[in-house]
């Protein structure tokens, strides 16, 4: 039987806004927007699962829910066997989030100093932290640049430091939200190689959100395609991307002008 590490049942997120004083006739009226609606997915251990869809499809909202950054409005989910709503601490300890919008590093500190700080947050003893930091830096090819100021790093180097930070706690699942955004082709290829050969190959699970069909084809075992908050298709990557009608449908989606998430 497959080892399922992530599973959702009708997971839903609604956002409610008040019109406020900008609407003088009805200042206290509320409007509700459903960003994610009734998502049902399963992800197995060691799998690279791609969440594919245009901007505004709900990918970031779904990823944030699974990482406990926002609470769902309905449905349920389990991550690494832990209930998303009731065991958030256990979920957080089992995952790492890598985002293209990286803002958690301290730019005046060196890369190594940043990793020491995050290791302390994880409660790692100094000798354990030192060993894991050295190993993580080696894995992401950042050993030589570790003692440079973070603000001096290129976009690709910052992404690699994000991966190094994620490796410190030895998580079961890596959530990646548009990780290649802003990267040049060489840095993108290196990141893809890292995901395939250093994460998935060692039994780690990767949940990759992207709007690039080619990226999903190159990296992911299975994909789920989202549009307007709903999952419109899911399955083995080669089967979905090999379906010409579905490929045309997806290309139509990403050329449509949708609201950013």
Topology, domain 4-104+171-254: Rossmann fold (3.40.50)
What's the gap between Cα 92 and its chain centre?
13
What are the counts of helices (DSSP H) followed by strands (DSSP E) for the chain?
A: 9, 11
Distance CA 225, CA 207 (A): 13
Q: Is the pLDDT of residue 21 over 60?
A: no
Q: Is the pLDDT of residue 256 over 60?
A: no
Q: pTM of the full predicted structure?
A: 0.86
In this prediction, residue 1 has a pLDDT band, given cuts at 50, 70 and 90, of very low
With 0-12 / 13-18 / 19 or more C-beta atoms within 10 angstroms meaning exposed / middle / buried, residue 204 is: buried
User: Which range (23-32, 38-47, 91-100, 187-196) has the least confidence?
Assistant: 23-32
> Which positions ≥6 away from 178 have C-beta within 8 Å?
99, 100, 209, 210, 211
Task: Report domain extents, the chain.
Answer: 4-104+171-254
Average pLDDT of the residues in 142-149: 96
Distance CA 61, CA 190 (A): 27
> What pLDDT is stored for residue 115 in this prediction?
96
99's enclosing H/E stretch is strand 95-99
Distance CA 238, CA 147 (A): 42
CA dihedral (10, 245, 196, 137) positive or negative: negative
Distance CA 207, CA 220 (A): 9
Q: Judge whether 51 and 6 are in contact, CB under 8 Å.
A: no
């Amino acid at each position: 039987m497959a080892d399922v590490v992530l599973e959702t049942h009708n997971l839903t997120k609604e956002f409610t806004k008040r019109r406020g004083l900008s609407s003088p006739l009805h200042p206290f009226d509320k409007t509700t927007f459903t960003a994610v609606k009734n998502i049902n997915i399963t992800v197995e251990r060691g799998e690279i699962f791609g969440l594919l869809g245009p901007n505004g499809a709900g990918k970031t909202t779904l990823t944030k829910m699974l990482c406990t950054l926002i609470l769902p409005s309905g449905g349920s989910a389990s991550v690494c066997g832990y209930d998303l709503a009731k065991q958030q601490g256990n979920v957080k300890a089992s995952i790492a989030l890598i985002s293209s919008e990286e803002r958690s590093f301290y730019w005046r500190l060196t890369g190594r100093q940043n990793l020491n700080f995050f290791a302390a947050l994880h409660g790692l003893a100094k000798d354990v932290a030192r060993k894991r930091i050295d190993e993580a830096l080696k894995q992401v090819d950042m050993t030589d640049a570790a003692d440079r100021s973070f603000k001096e790093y290129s976009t690709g180097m910052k992404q690699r430091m994000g991966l190094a930070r994620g490796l410190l706690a030895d998580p079961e699942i890596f959530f990646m939200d548009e990780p290649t955004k802003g990267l040049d082709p060489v840095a993108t290829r290196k990141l893809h190689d890292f995901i395939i050969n250093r994460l998935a190959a060692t039994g780690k699970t990767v949940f990759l959100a992207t709007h690039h069909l080619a990226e999903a084809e190159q990296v992911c075992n299975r994909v789920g395609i989202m549009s307007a908050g709903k999952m419109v298709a899911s399955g083995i990557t080669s089967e979905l991307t090999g379906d010409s009608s579905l490929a045309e449908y997806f290309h139509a989606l990403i050329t449509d002008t949708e609201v950013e998430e």
